[in-house]
């Protein structure tokens, strides 16, 4: 009877560990799906803008600090960062469930920071045309970067 009780407790403990791991994998999958979707949209928009004939910011805004060449470079850097985030979201979604919690948090922060950097490049592009709005975007992205840096991403990767 004692042996059966011990076996039962061992099975319950194993199932509990398995259930927690499944929940962790689902949360991680959702994170990488969401950030991958955002990156796919961002990369397609920036790629279209790189190829299009966009207006020179010096013609549109008297206060613009960037010329058309700089705007195109910022768009290209943003596109590159979105593509890197997209690729990392696919590969990390597959490989991170096998890694330790510390590595999962580090990987999530890397992906977050690259996505924030892409958004900051887009905010600089906007500041070339409408300075105040672009700088507000940079401030918001900086605030998010600070929050990510100081957090442990508990909501993304549960215990």
Q: What are the extents of the domains in the chain?
A: 27-150
Residue 40 has pLDDT above 70, yes or no: yes
| Contact (Cβ atoms closer than 8 angstroms) between residue 59 and residue 135 | no
pLDDT at 99: 78
| Contact (Cβ atoms closer than 8 angstroms) between residue 55 and residue 64 | no
CATH of domain 27-150: 1.20.120
Residue 159 has pLDDT above 50, yes or no: no
Q: DSSP letters of 4-26?
A: HHHHHHHHHHHHHHHHHHHHHHH
Tell me the pLDDT tens digit for each residue of 72-100.
999 999 999 999 999 998 888 888 777 78
Q: DSSP letters of 94-145?
A: HHGGGS-HHHHHHHHHHHHHHHHHHHHHHHHHHHHHSHHHHHHHHHHHHHHH
Q: What share of the chain has pLDDT > 90, as a percent?
A: 46
Residue 19 has pLDDT above 60, yes or no: no
């Amino acid at each position: 009877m004692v042996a059966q009780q011990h076996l039962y407790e061992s099975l319950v403990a194993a199932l509990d560990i398995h259930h927690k791991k499944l929940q962790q994998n689902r949360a991680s999958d959702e994170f990488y799906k969401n950030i991958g979707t955002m990156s796919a949209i961002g990369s397609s928009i920036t790629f279209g803008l790189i190829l299009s004939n966009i207006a020179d910011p010096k013609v549109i805004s008297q206060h613009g600090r960037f010329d058309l060449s700089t705007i195109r470079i910022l768009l290209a850097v943003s596109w590159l960062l979105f593509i890197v985030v997209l690729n990392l979201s696919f590969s990390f979604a597959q490989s991170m469930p096998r890694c330790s919690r510390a590595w999962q948090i580090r990987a999530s922060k890397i992906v977050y920071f690259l996505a924030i950097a892409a958004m900051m490049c887009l905010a600089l592009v906007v500041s070339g045309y409408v300075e105040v709005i672009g700088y507000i975007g940079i401030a918001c992205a900086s605030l998010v970067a600070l929050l990510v840096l100081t957090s442990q991403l508990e909501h993304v990767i549960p215990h």
